[in-house]
Amino acid sequence: MIIFRWIPICILFILLGFHSTQMAEAESKTDLLLLQDLSGLSGKEGMVLTVRFSPGEASPEHRHNAHTFVYVLEGSVIFQVAGGQPVTLKAGETFYESPKDIHTVSKNASDALPAKFLVFFVKNKGAPPLIPIN
């Protein structure tokens, strides 16, 4: 009889573990919020998106070929462009990259908590927002 009492508890722990794994995977994503032609700026568009980094997640070295404005919504992230110093930003803080910058570090500063930030690009119409550096 005692064994049967523990079975529901064991199932609950298994389900909670599965659910937390699914949540961690789901936090690593990008959501497009807006893509808009910019009147008065021929051939340019604005793009707004959110990026979620799961704990400890980092993106590979890349560039944007755009004016890039970042606003941290949750957690903290480490950003660095080539030739610059790494900067750790917390919720409410901002970061800018010029179209010529190479983004060498983009990483969740925490190994335990997710991070989320808003990105606004001013870029050439139809150009990809991110270009990996090999």
Q: Where are the domains of the chain?
A: 28-132
pLDDT in tens, 41-95: 999 999 999 999 999 999 999 999 999 999 999 999 999 999 999 999 999 999 9
- What whole-number distance in Å separates Cα of residue 79 and Cα of residue 64? 14
Q: Given a cut of 50, is residue 35 above it in pLDDT? A: yes
The pTM (predicted TM-score) of the whole model is 0.78
pLDDT of residue 29: 83
- Rounded Cα–Cα distance for residues 18 and 12 (Å): 10
Q: Quickly list DSSP for 83-134.
A: TS--EEEETT-EEEE-TT-EEEEEEES-SSS-EEEEEEEEEETT--S-EE--
Q: Looking at the domain covering 28-132, what would its CATH class be?
A: mainly beta
Q: What is the pLDDT of residue 122?
A: 98
Contact by Cβ (8 Å): 93, 115 = no
Q: In what order do the strands lie in the sheet with 94-97?
A: 29-37, 44-53, 115-124, 67-74, 94-97
Say which DSSP state 43 is in: T
